[in-house]
Amino acid sequence: MDNKQIKVLMIVPNLRASSGVASFVMNYYRSIDHDRFVVDFATLSYRESPYFEEIEKNGSKVFVLGSLLRHPFKHFKNAKSIIKEGNYDIVHDNTLHKSIPIMGYAKRKVPVRILHSHSIKIGETGLKVKINKMLMPLLLSKANYYTACSSNAGVAMFGNRDFTVIPNIIDTDNYRFDSKIRDEVRLRENVTHKYVVGSVGRVAEAKNPVFAVEVMGEVLKRRDDIEYWWIGSGPLDGQMKQIVEEKNISDRIRLLGSRSDLNELYQAMDLFFLPSQGEGFGLACIEAEASGLPCVISTNFPGEVNVTGSVKFVPLENEISKWADAVIESLDKNADRLEANRICRESAYSKAGSGDALSKYYEQLVVSEK
């Protein structure tokens, strides 16, 4: 392998701190050799992000394609310019049908074009699923390599095509339990005498936030020493706020939006809870486990997220009362939070365990295309 730098364009929906896809790319971005790889980003839309400064410090660029629906000509112009002027060796697409224009231009010029599946669902709503199914053959034709965060996610998008699993990773040191941070955050958030149940994810149908509030409403009826946080934002923000206000529990359910201090908020929690309708992998669950938290999640998560043995899987078909039982039972279990972090640190989902997986994959593909 020669010493020539490998140029990579990472296509992502956005770079919000609460985005699972953004977390995936940034965790690998931090572990990559920036003398060997130049990694730029193309986002479908602009969202404020704490990652921008970090990316620019490493000499990488962030491009915004813009709305394909509202400004199609500008989107196509931006896509063509990015590919034409970037001289990329690899384009790594972490989105769905909105990336078709830039992947189309990439097919003419970029030797390695990767399509990455992050979910077992190809849309958040019935309409989006139909659109994505219709456009999927076109998108698949633009790529020549396929990757996924899990075997489930790979089969969901690629069917019987060959694909490579690139494990989601986290920097486990960033989530190592620290009692001082826990005390500081709990004092700041005024929850020093409460248990905190937390959900982390986009406020969208796939994460099942309305059902989550229903479950926590039942939990709060039974216990007056619990507060619930949802960290993240999305298209259902307004609906969530309205439901919480209608239930008159806004003093005990807090919608915190996207946060850049997520690792510290995990420290303040006592339980991670997420009844997702579908998860390609579920990186937030690994983050929670690395922080030492027990987890109550739906059976729609792949079983491999149970790294520490402290994850309880509950079928979505179960009654709300059964979900509430699971939350309360798991909340009352004592956990060794430092030991949980050690287990995660030695797993395939840690930066130490698989931090160079993507770099090796990139180098392998570049060599194969020469």
Alpha-carbon distances of 44 from 15, 47, 99, 222, rounded to whole Å? 10, 10, 8, 44
Reported as a pLDDT band with limits 50, 70 and 90, residue 221 is very high
| pLDDT (tens digit per residue) in 114-145 | 999 998 877 666 777 788 888 899 999 999 99
> What's residue 46's pLDDT?
87
User: For residue range 241-263, what is the model confidence (pLDDT) as tens digits?
Assistant: 999 999 999 999 999 998 889 99
- CA-based end-to-end distance of the chain: 11
Identify the structural domains of the chain with CATH numbers, from first to last: 6-168+355-368 (3.40.50.2000), 172-345 (3.40.50.2000)
Give the integer Cα–Cα distance in Å for 295 and 343.
15
CB 275 within 8 A of CB 269: no
- The Cα 260–Cα 247 span in angstroms is 29
Q: How far is CA 362 from the centre of its chain?
A: 21
Q: Average per-residue pLDDT in the chain?
A: 93
| Predicted TM-score of the model (pTM) | 0.78
**DSSP E strand stretches across the chain:** 6-12, 37-43, 62-64, 90-93, 112-117, 145-148, 164-165, 195-200, 226-231, 253-257, 271-274, 295-298, 311-314
> Any idea which residue has 């053959």 for tokens?
137
Q: Which residues on neighbouring strands pair with residue 62, listed in sequence order?
A: 41
Give 67-119 pLDDT, tens digit per residue.
Answer: 888 899 999 999 999 999 999 999 999 998 889 999 999 999 999 999 999 98
Contact (CB, 8 A) for 83 and 117: no
